[in-house]
Amino acid sequence: MQSKTSWFKKEIFKQNFRQVGWISLIYMIILFFAVPLNIFMRFQRHDEYYGYFGESVFEYGVYVQLFSLFIAPVLMAMFILRYLHQKDSSDFIYSLPIKRDYFYWHQVVFGFIGLWLPVIINGLLVSFVYNIVDVQGSFNINDIGYWFVVSSIILFLTYSVSIVIGTMTGITIIQGIFSYIFLLLPFGFTLLFISNLNYFVIGLPESYLINDKITTYSPITNIVNLINSPEDASYSLVIYVILTILSFIVGLILYRNRPAEAATQAVAFHKLKYIFIYSFTFCFTLIGGIYFAIFHRSTSAIIFGYLIFSVIGYYITQMIIHKTWRVFNEWREYIYYLIGFSIILLLTIFDVTGYQNRIPETDQVESAFVVIDKYSFNENLDKYGDLEGFTTQVDIDRVREYHQQLINSNQMTEWYDYFYKDITILYRLKNGKEMVREYRSSDQLDHQKLLEEITQTQTYKKYTNEIFYVNPKDISQIRIVAYPTNSELTITNYKEIAEFVDLFKQDLLNTDHDSTPYSSTVEVHFNDNLNQYHQFYELSWNYKEVIKWLEDNDLLEQAMMTAEDVEKIIIATPDDLEEYYYYDEREYFSNILSESKKSIITDADQINQILTKVTYEDFEGDHLLVLYLKDTWYPYVIKIHKSQLPDEVINNLK
């Protein structure tokens, strides 16, 4: 009768236990001190530490947990495959009458169990602590389960990637280093590529392409999202499970075909050497472009950075492969790389695809947006979904005209200027696609007149002001703080909130300027169950409907600064408008500035006229407006132009 060969190899198991068992033991001890023991000790104290308890199991010893979560699996893979990187051990293992597939899975499963056991044991201990200690609602049994699942999946993904790298190299230290490089590669390469492309392609929407989603490309950068947003983690976790399975399969295929003589070689497969050389050199080249752009944002400096760092990156790969620094005669592959990179760079600079000048036709556009504040716009998109942009033919043509002006006026020298503001053009096309461009625009350019026309439309004001998407029923209170008096008004009555919001929307749509030197701040607070941040707006004297409503309800003096708060106003015309900076302001305007250079206003009607008429600070102005409050000793000084003042005040100026 034929005997059955067991899959389990006892002697190999013992050898593995001696070689990597310590990793599992140390990881278990680290987790024990960081999680279950930490939780138990914290909840045994009821002093000043109360209130700092985490709302997730990950928040207990979070840095220790995360550090060990990515260190332990790489160490396990490095030591479990260490025999592949030692010639004697490799030759011995390959000489055994054991199929490569069996031995591969034997090693992989041993490391798999060695990593999982510490998580299982500590998960059970956390559950035990949860049942014997009052955790004050800090976390529940579902949070423990989530911690267990996420920890397990991240461990196995990291472990599987390191296994793949281990089969591709013959040097253990390279396996460790390149395990982390591969884990970060999707995130890092995307960031490098888009950032460098942005230096040469005018209109490239860098901030649109590099957003929060890019952090999900790597488990190392995505772990924070997994901890903070469990409700959004399902998709990432499923992808990680699939990638883990695929990695183990790829590792098996590589292991089957791995040359026996690959031990001690940096790259185990000959064909992979060229992939390694060119990909590593390319990434290093992109790093050089960013490095030189930081210090000198010019095209020539960036190209010079490409050249220097490509040489450095190329010879680093040669030193790794040949395991010596004497590789400077290995230059042929670099010439091939330089030619290829130069062709790509020239094609990008000369825009052979027409990307930079592409504007969709009006009949292709469903809606269009011009965005100045990208952060707020994206926040509104995330909260309220689809926003209503410009949809009429006239409005879309205006956006297209402005887009063409931006294309005509933008140069790379302007693109590098930090003093230019960002403008985003977003088209939603009828075929379901989106077209996005970003530019930097100067306030001095002629096309700002067209931008002002766009920003004063009701459509623009609606999609850029979140208040138009808010249901008054969701608002708990509206708090108005006057500047500079700091008087406050709080509205909590639902009817008054609804009236205020409705009138505020009307004023936003009908008012050109939403801010004055003496505007009040409007804080919109939401019901606690919405878990939403406060919204902030400016309330100025230009908001006629809201001001009238406040007057009718005897609330104006609480919400806005009025003549009742002002002691006096001085309109000053010193020879040097900056002179007062060198003196105590109260002393300067009271005693140093000659009487012929100032007009003092104390009449309440004239003060109210000034507060309502001076709607902005003119930094090129020829007068100083000096305002004194009744309850403060120091003045508030702004520059204005004489024409901003009421006629009655102008007629009485000295």
- List, for residues 354-395, the tens digit of each pLDDT value: 999 999 999 999 999 998 887 778 777 777 777 889 999 999
Sheet containing 475-481: which strands, arranged edge to edge?
488-491, 475-481, 520-526, 535-539
Greater confidence, 547 or 582?
A: 547
Please compute the mean of the pLDDT values over residues 336-357 and round it to a whole number: 92
**In the structure, what pLDDT confidence band is assigned to residue 284 with cuts at 50, 70 and 90?**
very high
Q: Which residues contact 247 (CB under 8 A, 6 or more apart)?
A: 157, 160, 161, 163, 164
For residue 437, the model assigns a pLDDT of 92
For residue 24, the model assigns a pLDDT of 93
Instruction: Name the residue type at position 569.
Output: I
| Helix or strand (DSSP H, E) at 392 | none
Give the whole-angstrom CA distance, residue 384 versus residue 381.
Answer: 5
Give the whole-angstrom CA distance, residue 375 versus residue 271.
Answer: 45
Instruction: Please report the DSSP string for 365-394 in residue order.
Output: EEEEEEES-HHHHHHHHHHH-S---B-SHH
Give the whole-angstrom CA distance, residue 144 versus residue 130.
Answer: 9
The strand pairing partners of 429, in sequence order, are 365
- List, for residues 608-617, the tens digit of each pLDDT value: 888 887 766 6
DSSP state of 494: H
Q: Which of 413-417, 528-532, 539-543 has the highest mean pLDDT?
A: 539-543
**In the structure, what pLDDT confidence band is assigned to residue 342 with cuts at 50, 70 and 90?**
very high
- List, for residues 484-499, the tens digit of each pLDDT value: 888 899 999 999 999 9
For residue 2, the model assigns a pLDDT of 47
- List, for residues 568-579, the tens digit of each pLDDT value: 888 888 777 777
For residue 333, the model assigns a pLDDT of 87
Residue written as token pair 């996420």 = 150
For residue 513, the model assigns a pLDDT of 60
User: Strand, helix or coil at 189?
Assistant: helix
Please compute the mean of the pLDDT values over residues 225-251 and round it to a whole number: 92
Q: Say if CB 508 and CB 467 are below 8 A apart.
A: yes
For the chain, the domains span 10-184+211-260, 362-464, 470-559, 563-652
Is the confidence at residue 350, as pLDDT, over 70?
A: yes
For residue 28, the model assigns a pLDDT of 95
- List, for residues 29-72, the tens digit of each pLDDT value: 999 999 999 888 887 765 444 444 556 888 888 899 999 999 99
User: Strand, helix or coil at 16?
Assistant: helix
Return the percentage of the chain with pLDDT > 70, whole number.
89
| Helix or strand (DSSP H, E) at 55 | none
For residue 254, the model assigns a pLDDT of 93
Residue written as token pair 């490098």 = 192
For residue 50, the model assigns a pLDDT of 45
Q: Say if CB 283 and CB 313 are below 8 A apart.
A: yes
Is the confidence at residue 287, as pLDDT, over 80?
A: yes
Please compute the mean of the pLDDT values over residues 592-611 and round it to a whole number: 83
